[in-house]
Amino acid sequence: MKINIVAFGIAKEIINSPECSLEVKTPCSVGSLKETLMAKYEEFQKLKSIKFAINEDYQEDRFLLNEGDEVVIIPPVSGG
Amino acid sequence: MKINIVAFGIAKEIINSPECSLEVKTPCSVGSLKETLMAKYEEFQKLKSIKFAINEDYQEDRFLLNEGDEVVIIPPVSGG
Amino acid sequence: MRDIKILDTPLNTQLCHDAVEDPAAGGIVVFVGVVRDQTKNRKVVQLVFESYVPMALKEMNKIADLLYQRWGILHVCIHHRIGVLDIGEIPVIIAVSTPHRQAAFEACQYAIDTLKETVPIWKKEIFKDGAVWVSARP
Amino acid sequence: MRDIKILDTPLNTQLCHDAVEDPAAGGIVVFVGVVRDQTKNRKVVQLVFESYVPMALKEMNKIADLLYQRWGILHVCIHHRIGVLDIGEIPVIIAVSTPHRQAAFEACQYAIDTLKETVPIWKKEIFKDGAVWVSARP
């Protein structure tokens, strides 16, 4: 299936776009999405951490994606 | 010597005046002034605490008074 | 800069905030004391604050000295009001600015805790059927 | 009452203070984050904040939920700004009111500490000769 991914902050600079889409095998967990992404964009490996929000909530590596989920890369936050 | 004493808060109500004067023996410490005052106005014994400021600073019982010192009774404070 | 005052007019939060602004400040913490409508489940109508003003200013300045020494603060503003206050009015505001926020929280809390212990200001709670000097009795 | 917003216009300390006023409040603590003129001894020119807004609001509301549960606060106001900020401007204000002051200090500090860990907002420091997304690199 195709997963559309939105990026903010440094993630946006790494993929050089505010969004991208990746073709992944079904079922696809957050963890394997992360691996696919890190393989495609090696710069992500240099970040302190990288999390994913699915439909506006943080999700762990074992969380399974559905087609149509709102997937957002969350690099280290620095608000305040 | 004669010591003039200024009172605030509940101390003002106990001596029923914003100030009073006491005749004390020389030398007179803060501690003995406190005893004299508590003997004259027994209500002071019911307070949680009573301190004295001499010339705008807190002073301990063993501090000796001079004639002309600005002596203020400091009942428990409750600012803020 | 320190801005330490005892006032008989309403206090202003924005003013105290502005007094501690600084390009080197990363955090400002402002504590605002407010007159509550009750104490120990008894309904308060008004509060009356009185102060031994020259000594109170001296003690407030001692607190400020310590904030500079212990927490390396940039600026502090302490305004305390005296006179008759209604429910919801502000008896005290303490604003502190520091390069990093943790110090601002600690210094501000130390300042209000110490003010309540050492500064010669007295509060009388006025109830419908009486009045009490706060903290006086055991 | 909770007043939780992400704004692209200047924040106002007085407004956040007023949002948490309450007759039952004994203390209000306001934390104001300020853009410092330097970081690690390097001179900062501007900051740019961006946010994943709907999720940021959701995470800020989770923080608010916890303040009510853990500290029994009366009200909370969290305003965060996004966009380009100059030195001395305010990226964040958190105001908390509680019946007793200790809880207001603790809750306010918890709120800003947690906001910096969980809320999807990113800060880019602009220097004369470059720019860095804060916290991104180890």
What are the tens digits of pLDDT across the range B35-78? 999 999 999 999 999 999 999 999 999 999 999 999 999 999 99
How high is the pLDDT of residue C34? Answer: 96
Inside any domain, residue B18: yes
CATH number of the domain residue B48 falls in: 3.10.20.30
Q: What span, in angstroms and rounded, lies between the C-alpha atoms of D125 and D138? A: 16
Q: How does DSSP classify residue B64?
A: B
- Extract the tokens encoding D45: 């020119």
Q: Which residues contact A54 (CB under 8 A, 6 or more apart)?
A: A30, A63, A65, A69, A70, A71, A72
Inside any domain, residue A24: yes
Q: Is the pLDDT of residue C132 over 90?
A: yes
Query: What are the chain C neighbours of B18 within 8 Å (beta carbons)?
Result: none
CB contact under 8 Å between C29 and D29, yes or no, is yes
The complex scores an ipTM of 0.94
Q: Smallest Cα–Cα separation from B8: which of B66, B72, B79?
A: B72
AA letter at B68: G
Range of the domain at A10: 2-74
- Extract the tokens encoding A10: 């440094």
Scanning D8-37 for CB atoms below 8 A from C yields 13-14, 17, 21, 23-34, 36-37
How high is the pLDDT of residue D63? Answer: 98
Does residue C27 contact residue D14 with C-beta atoms inside 8 Å?
no
Higher pLDDT, C39 or A10: A10
How high is the pLDDT of residue D128? Answer: 93
Number of domains chain A is built from: 1
CB contact under 8 Å between C25 and D36, yes or no, is yes
Distances from the Cα of D40 to the Cα of A77, B51, D24, angstroms: 18, 48, 43
Helix (H) or strand (E) holding C106: helix C101-118
Tell me if the domain spanning D2-127 has CATH number 3.90.1170.40.
Answer: yes
Distances from the Cα of C34 to the Cα of C13, C91, D100, D117, angstroms: 11, 6, 10, 31
What are the tens digits of pLDDT across the range D52-104? 999 999 999 999 999 999 999 999 999 999 999 999 999 999 999 999 999 99
CA D26 to chain A, closest CA, distance in angstroms equals 26
Number of Cβ within a 10 Å radius of residue C118? 19
Q: Which residues contact D129 (CB under 8 A, 6 or more apart)?
A: none
What are the tens digits of pLDDT across the range D95-107? 999 999 999 999 9
pTM of the model: 0.95
Partner residues linked to C122 by β-bridges: C50
Q: Is the pLDDT of residue D38 over 90?
A: no
Distances from the Cα of B4 to the Cα of A14, A27, B1, B69, B72, angstroms: 78, 89, 10, 8, 9
What are the tens digits of pLDDT across the range A3-38? 999 999 999 999 999 999 999 999 999 999 999 999
* Chain D contact residues (CB < 8 Å to A): 33, 49-52, 54-56, 58, 80, 91-92, 112, 115-124, 133-138
Q: How many residues does chain C have?
A: 138
What are the tens digits of pLDDT across the range C66-83? 999 999 999 999 999 999
Inside any domain, residue A80: no
CA A11 to chain D, closest CA, distance in angstroms equals 9
Report the b/e string of C22-54 with b at 16+ CB within 10 A.
Answer: beebbbbbbbbbbbbbeeeeeebeebbbbbbee
Residue-averaged pLDDT of chain D: 96
